[in-house]
A and B are shown apart, each in its own frame.
Chain A
């Protein structure tokens, strides 16, 4: 039950449960509407939380995006957890992360049942055969696009080449490659800081 007093609270401070509920429904809708993963989601999060609800300032949002890109895991999860924590603390972060992931979970549970059931079907398997070729082209394009953005200096080329070589020729685990790359980046940055 809402008391008249609570109902009259300013829009930016609804009661706690109500706040968690709104966080959940907002992130759920964002998760259900965003095609193309995390980066496509940022403008929707920005619009919902900065423009519509006014719970987060534009400046906070820039920090949230910057930090979310620095941590491992899906950007969609890190950024919505961060938004949730800013708005309603730990539980806010939890409901926002679950909210944004839940639509995919539900959709894929249903789709994977159909997929596993029908992938041997003559038409479906023919379509999948073609789709797989298209996916190779998509991922290759993504590598080139990301490479143009990320691989610029000689050091970047060395890291990209090293990562590729370690996996292809030495069969090293990608997790080990990430650790080596992070350590190398840290050592190089430290030396650059000392010499300058």
Chain B
């Protein structure tokens, strides 16, 4: 098998695994994505964070955006297509199976039990993602170089504005970008 085809298959199956094991959608994908994709060397933690921002500002599911970006960076347009197909395939297959055979799955006590365990665990997993992306955002020079005080302050302000003032995510990202330019360029 040529290395190009092997890379495409690797992208497909990696995203297939992510799509097939992430419950809750959206941000629930972050812990899976950042761990697996940075280990593979396809993206950096900062690129994951940037993709979260880009996903908030563009239409469509985060999972598809992240798959497209990773595939594109690793192997161009074919990579984007294979990664995206991989991430959407498990839901498609499972829904097709449910529609054909188990239409009563939503009343199944076993399925409900499994989800009762998975849903709170997802919250714990996303909390771990906050730590990894925090490390990327606040320690741009590595942990030894110490935290970036301006970034910490900005994050605290945005957090307060979201919690107290209900700040919209798109506005939050735009304002953070402007603050970054004002502080780091001028």
Total contacts A-B at CB 8 Å: 378
Q: How far is the CB of B113 from chain A (nearest CB, A)?
A: 3
CA distance A70 to B138 in the complex (A): 35
Our pick among A128, A160, A186, A187 for the contact of B50 (Cβ within 8 Å) is A128
Are A108 and B172 in contact (CB-based, < 8 A)? no
A94 within 8 A of B: yes
Our pick among B46, B134, B159 for the contact of A141 (Cβ within 8 Å) is B159
Q: Which of B23-54 contact A (CB under 8 A)?
A: 23-27, 29-32, 35, 46, 49-50, 52-54
Are A137 and B155 in contact (CB-based, < 8 A)? yes
Are A111 and B22 in contact (CB-based, < 8 A)? no
Are B158 and A77 in contact (CB-based, < 8 A)? no
Contacts of B105 in A (CB 8 A): 67, 70
Q: How far is the CB of A135 from chain B (nearest CB, A)?
A: 5
Q: Is the interface of A mostly helix, strand, loop or mixed?
A: helix
Contacts of A31 in B (CB 8 A): 59-60
Given A74-B88, A167-B31, the answer on whether A38 and B26 have CB atoms closer than 8 Å is yes
CA distance A184 to B95 in the complex (A): 24
A18 within 8 A of B: no
Q: Mark A5-35, 1 if CB is under 8 A from B, else 0.
A: 0000000000000000000000000011111
B5 within 8 A of A: no
A48 within 8 A of B: no
A97 within 8 A of B: yes
Contacts of B56 in A (CB 8 A): 35-36, 138
B3 within 8 A of A: no
A54 within 8 A of B: no
Are A139 and B133 in contact (CB-based, < 8 A)? yes
Contacts of A75 in B (CB 8 A): 25-26, 61
Contacts of B152 in A (CB 8 A): 133
B131 within 8 A of A: yes
Q: Which of B124-183 contact A (CB under 8 A)?
A: 124-131, 133-134, 136-138, 140, 150-152, 154-156, 158-159, 162-163, 169-170, 172-173, 175-181, 183
Besides A136-B155, A164-B127, 18 other A-B contacts (C-beta < 8 A): A37-B25, A38-B26, A70-B115, A73-B88, A74-B29, A74-B61, A77-B91, A78-B91, A104-B68, A105-B84, A108-B58, A112-B73, A126-B181, A128-B50, A131-B180, A138-B56, A164-B125, A179-B21
22 A/B residue pairs, CB under 8 Å, sorted by A:
A39-B26, A72-B20, A74-B61, A81-B91, A81-B92, A107-B59, A108-B54, A108-B80, A111-B58, A126-B181, A126-B183, A127-B178, A128-B50, A130-B180, A132-B137, A135-B53, A135-B133, A136-B138, A160-B123, A164-B124, A168-B131, A187-B113
B interface with A by C-beta (< 8 Å): 17, 19-27, 29-32, 35, 46, 49-50, 52-65, 68-69, 72-73, 77, 80-81, 84, 87-88, 90-92, 94-96, 98-99, 103, 105-106, 109-131, 133-134, 136-138, 140, 150-152, 154-156, 158-159, 162-163, 169-170, 172-173, 175-181, 183-185
A interface with B by C-beta (< 8 Å): 31-39, 63, 66-68, 70-78, 81-82, 85-86, 90, 93-94, 97, 100-101, 103-105, 107-109, 111-113, 115-116, 119, 122-123, 125-144, 146-147, 150-151, 155-157, 159-165, 167-168, 173-175, 177-190, 193
